[in-house]
Chain A
């Protein structure tokens, strides 16, 4: 963490505000992510964490503020209000809190959708076939299969995704997001609904993904053990506002955070 100043900044959010009608869901929140980091965004239910994700990934257009990305080897872009698919193509991919897979497609096909923005076959070329198209298709399949191996789902590659267990579906979402070749991966409650054993494996998986795929990770999570274990830095939100940020140790000792969590049952 000491080195984070020298690292390259990937995501820079400043003054982000989101209103729904009269309701201010996010109020002036800032957040930075550097290369190779795992950053957690925590807070009580309804604090605006998922809304923050949706603003960053283009599903909502923020009312105020800036979302800027600095892709490695690319120019800085301000991505407010950009379509989600464009943002994904620029190199940010996400998973969903309430799993959103394609239930009637196979596990492998789910991951292959992630390759969509990195491949180019259009209608005409798909109809005519040809060597280039076949090669691209093969690359998609192989790359997707390797990702399935990484998350431990290779043996169910041909199964419909709706038939997977909850934990497996969460891992499939991660594989699908990774297939878009992101430089930043956003995970929305990846451990929700998992048993302790699965959560433990997820812990290792997330760290491994960061190291092997060279992606930075931003995650929303309620499982404090997981968060404290793997995060380099933590941001805490409450009622749409950012109330603290720092290393896991700093956050644990922060009186504001303790107060915010007192009402809730203590997760830690």
Chain B
């Protein structure tokens, strides 16, 4: 058994998994509050990556480069993703509150298809190269055979984002309102919480996280196209379900588990079937333990 190879795979899996976790958080937060699978969440991630690509492309061609460009691009991408997430909720989901369960889901699928094709028409269906903006850090020298500088940035960024999110949800006013709304929407409304605003805020926060994930993954893979949101979205959803949908630590755990499982499967069995492992895991978890790793089984109220 080659431990070095295994360790490499594990590191790669963790990097990948932390991106899944970032996107999965958006799914889980939205689901926790309005019980909707925001199918278009993957497209928001893709749009984040595209905005970052455009900003950094313009910057690179104007002669700027380096980590600062990446940061600016990420900030703009986050703003735009937030704007898209916010608008998406207003148009595609808000008019459907209280509609039969399938309606918002179909609407979400429609929105997803729309956004994917919108970007494809506005930009290009082809893969675009994403500029390399992360320099090779010197202190990374001894670790380079396991993790690249980009991977390091991803892990650090993800960790920072998670901490920020935790603080936001635990200690801020909006975070408390979100938790209250998640537990009981009617009650939250009664005690004076503006539920509409909470829902909007949830979409905005989820979208920002997705955009950060989008920028990070784009700088790792070095290329993006308008279709990346679809697969990433499903994978992240898998991660969210794996951890127990509606459960925030669960989404992170689910993302990491999925990333590692997928990378190990690809590394030891066959990389062509990488996506099959993810889907297989999703199907298994839903059949065997639909509440997820950290979720609690809830009885449906009659």
Q: Which residues of B contact A244 (CB under 8 A)?
A: none
Distance of A50 Cα from B299 Cα, bound (Å)? 14
A166 in contact (CB, < 8 A): no
Which residues from 23 to 54 on chain A have a C-beta closer than 8 Å to any C-beta of chain B?
50, 54
Main secondary structure of the interface of B (DSSP, over half): loop
B190 in contact (CB, < 8 A): no
Is there an interface contact between B299 and A96, defined as CB atoms closer than 8 Å? Answer: no
B302 in contact (CB, < 8 A): yes
Distance of A96 Cα from B299 Cα, bound (Å)? 17
Distance of A168 Cα from B158 Cα, bound (Å)? 57
Of all chain A residues, which has the CB nearest B299?
A20
Q: Which residues of B contact A54 (CB under 8 A)?
A: 302
Bitwise interface map of B from 262 to 302 toward A, beta carbon under 8 Å scored 1, else 0: 00000000000000000000000000000000001001001
Of all chain B residues, which has the CB nearest A50?
B302
The interface on chain B, measured as residues whose beta carbon lies within 8 A of the other chain's beta carbons, has a size of 3
A59 in contact (CB, < 8 A): yes
How near does chain A come to B24, taking the closest CB pair, in angstroms? 26
Q: Which residues of B contact A50 (CB under 8 A)?
A: 302
The interface on chain A, measured as residues whose beta carbon lies within 8 A of the other chain's beta carbons, has a size of 7
Distance of A59 Cα from B299 Cα, bound (Å)? 10
How near does chain B come to A244, taking the closest CB pair, in angstroms? 26
Which residues from 146 to 191 on chain B have a C-beta closer than 8 Å to any C-beta of chain A?
none
A160 in contact (CB, < 8 A): no
The 8 Å CB contact of B302, one of A20, A21, A59, is A59
Distance of A59 Cα from B302 Cα, bound (Å)? 8
Bitwise interface map of A from 57 to 98 toward B, beta carbon under 8 Å scored 1, else 0: 001100000000000000000000000000000000000100
Distance of A20 Cα from B296 Cα, bound (Å)? 12
How near does chain B come to A190, taking the closest CB pair, in angstroms? 16
Distance of A145 Cα from B302 Cα, bound (Å)? 28
Q: Which residues of A contact B302 (CB under 8 A)?
A: 50, 54, 59, 96
Of all chain B residues, which has the CB nearest A53?
B302
How near does chain B come to A20, taking the closest CB pair, in angstroms? 7
Distance of A40 Cα from B299 Cα, bound (Å)? 26
Which residues from 80 to 100 on chain B have a C-beta closer than 8 Å to any C-beta of chain A?
none
Q: Which residues of A contact B299 (CB under 8 A)?
A: 20, 60
Bitwise interface map of A from 120 to 158 toward B, beta carbon under 8 Å scored 1, else 0: 000000000000000000000000000000000000000
Q: Which residues of B contact A96 (CB under 8 A)?
A: 302
Q: Which residues of A contact B296 (CB under 8 A)?
A: 21
How near does chain A come to B182, taking the closest CB pair, in angstroms? 18
How near does chain B come to A91, taking the closest CB pair, in angstroms? 20
Q: Which 4 A-B pairs have the closest CB atoms?
A: A59-B302, A54-B302, A20-B299, A96-B302
Measured CB to CB, the residues of A under 8 A from B are 20-21, 50, 54, 59-60, 96
A-B contact pairs, 7 of them (CB 8 A): A20-B299, A21-B296, A50-B302, A54-B302, A59-B302, A60-B299, A96-B302
